[in-house]
Copies of this chain bind each other. A is one copy, B any other.
Amino acid sequence: MAGTGRASGGVEAAPASQQGMRRQNLAVVMGAVAAHGPLSRADVAGQTGLTRPAVSSLVDELIARRALTEAETAPSGRVGRPGRALALNDRGPAGLGLEIGVAHLAACVVDLRGAPRVWRRVEQANAGRPAGQVLAEAAALGAEAESEAAVLGLWVAGRVMAVPGVVPDGPGGLVANAPNLGWQTVRPADHWPDPDAVPEPENEANLGALAEQRQQGRPAETFVHVSAEAGIGAALVLGGRLFRGARGFAGELGHLPVHPEGPPCPCGARGCLEQYAGEAAVLREAGLAGAGDPVALLTRRARAGDAATLRALDRAGRALGLALASAVNLIDPDALVLGGAYAELADWLLPPVRAELAARVTVRPWPPEAVRPSALGRRGPVLGAAWSTVHRIISDPAQLPAF
Contact = CB atoms under 8 A, between A and B. Distances in A.
Interface string A49-69: 111001000000000000000
Contacts of A326: 256-257, 323, 326, 330
B6 A50 contact: yes
A170 interface: no
Interface residues of A, number: 69
Interface in A1-24: 2-3, 5-11, 18, 20-22, 24
B10 A51 contact: yes
A7 B54 contact: yes
B31 A5 contact: no
Contacts of A147: none
Contacts of A20: 5
B54 A267 contact: no
Nearest to A265: B362
Contacts of A3: 28, 48-49
B362 A51 contact: no
B10 A50 contact: yes
Interface stretch (A79-87, A130-138, A244-252): A244-252
Nearest to A261: B259
Contacts of A245: 222, 331-333
B330 A252 contact: yes
Interface string A309-337: 00000000000001101110111111000
Contacts of A334: 246
Nearest to A55: B9
A360 B28 contact: no
A246 B332 contact: yes
A122 B56 CA distance: 69
A249 B50 contact: no
18 contacts: A3-B48, A5-B20, A5-B24, A6-B21, A8-B50, A9-B54, A10-B50, A246-B334, A248-B332, A250-B332, A252-B363, A255-B360, A255-B362, A257-B325, A257-B326, A269-B325, A269-B362, A326-B326
Given A255-B361, A256-B325, 10 more contacts: A2-B31, A6-B28, A6-B49, A7-B18, A9-B45, A251-B332, A252-B330, A252-B363, A258-B260, A260-B322
